[in-house]
Structure 1
């Protein structure tokens, strides 16, 4: 599973970081990034929860 954050949609709420800190980080400017882009084994459920709970719908799963 891989995820990405649309930087044009992200508003910096940080919900993703709260739900899945293994994948999401906040930049110095306050925007979320997926790092690593590939979700580690065992973190898939938390990553999907972050996708579902992003207020701006800025996170998506990619192939």
Structure 2
């Protein structure tokens, strides 16, 4: 059984490179200063591989996937 995951950002750690938005434009946009704005919903299963790639490519390790807890 798969678990739902969301993207989370460490805003202090982020340097605004924008690579995440290039790799996952369906889920991440950039503000006027180049910092990511993440959709708050769970990542759909078909986008999870792309989300994992964006997390792995973050030069500052400021982007993470977090499992949503079952309530």
Considering the TM-score relative to the shorter chain, is it more than 0.5? yes
Quote how far apart the aligned CAs of 1:4 are: 0.6
Match of 1:51 in 2: 55
Question: Aligned-pair distance for 1:22?
Answer: 1.1
Aligned-residue CA RMSD in angstroms?
1.3
Runs of 4+ residues deviating >3 angstroms: none
Larger Cα Rg: Structure 1 or Structure 2? Answer: 2
TM-score (norm 2): 0.78
Q: Counterparts of 1:1-63 in structure 2 under 5 Å?
A: 1-63=5-67
- C-alpha distance in 2 between matches for 1:33 and 1:19: 14
TM normalised by structure 1 equals: 0.86
Counterpart Cα distance in 1 of 2:40 and 2:26: 8
In 1, Cα distance between the equivalents of 2:17 and 2:42? 22
Q: How many residues align?
A: 63
